[in-house]
Chain A
């Protein structure tokens, strides 16, 4: 079974630009969660999508948004990039239907904002 894939793996943008990251979950998984990982803050939860609906949301500004398609693939968008948005963005997929919700992580997208 193929794992979680994320594209692109690396991205360099400048302040004020916007960026879209993509995540393809494991086949059959309906839940996709997004996380931001920085050395100082660790893994911070952004949001979770389940069956095309945002089911949970973390404490990030409205510049961070996402969506999920009918095939469970998900995209995350960050508008008006700031230097502090430089981070590793991880997505994780799970079945989303059980309390025991083991998440399988993708390799991440390393975003650098200059």
Chain B
């Protein structure tokens, strides 16, 4: 089966940096996604990593280490609108997308 772990909650202040870790054990690996989901809304795509290393996209960056089964999402210069749930998802060998339970990030003024 698939096992994807991420912290349940994180809190940070506006302007700060937060790092959300995700570890995974899956039957094969074909890529890792990060999604953002605001309360009551559908998940929206943030990033995709399939090779090791850091992908930077504005205030958000995502890192992957396939040998360690590890990824993180880095949120910089936090804004109040970044308060949301962040979902780590892995595509396994059969191209199924498996999600972690999500990390709720609360940004405080």
Q: Do A105 and B44 touch (CB < 8 A)?
A: yes
Question: Which of B12-20, B61-69, B72-80, B95-103 binds A?
Answer: B95-103
Measured CA separation A79–B107 after assembly (Å): 41
Measured CA separation A35–B42 after assembly (Å): 11
- Majority SS of interface residues in chain B? loop
Tell me the count of chain A residues lying within 8 A, CB to CB, of chain B: 23
**Which of chain B's residues have a CB closer than 8 A to the CB of A105?**
42-44
Measured CA separation A33–B89 after assembly (Å): 14
**Which of chain A's residues have a CB closer than 8 A to the CB of B43?**
43, 90, 105
Contact with B along A74-114 (1 / 0, CB 8 A): 00000000000000001000000001111111111000000
Q: Do B97 and A103 touch (CB < 8 A)?
A: yes
Most chain B C-beta atoms within 10 Å of own C-beta, residue among A33, A90, A105: A105
Measured CA separation A90–B44 after assembly (Å): 12
Q: Do B96 and A104 touch (CB < 8 A)?
A: no
Q: Do A108 and B33 touch (CB < 8 A)?
A: no
Q: Do B87 and A101 touch (CB < 8 A)?
A: no
**Which of chain A's residues have a CB closer than 8 A to the CB of B33?**
102
Measured CA separation A45–B48 after assembly (Å): 19
A102's nearest neighbour on chain B, judged by CB, is B45
Tell me the count of chain B residues lying within 8 A, CB to CB, of chain A: 22
Nearest-CB distance from A26 to chain B (Å)?
Answer: 13
Q: A42-B99, A42-B100, A43-B89 are in contact. List 14 more A-B contacts (CB 8 A).
A: A42-B87, A43-B43, A43-B87, A43-B99, A44-B99, A45-B96, A45-B97, A48-B96, A56-B94, A58-B96, A99-B91, A101-B91, A105-B44, A108-B42
Can you list 17 A-B contacts (CB < 8 A)? A4-B42, A33-B97, A35-B99, A41-B101, A42-B87, A42-B100, A42-B101, A43-B87, A45-B97, A45-B98, A45-B99, A55-B95, A56-B95, A99-B30, A100-B31, A103-B97, A106-B42
Interface residues of B (CB under 8 A from A): 30-31, 33, 41-45, 48, 50, 87, 89, 91, 94-102
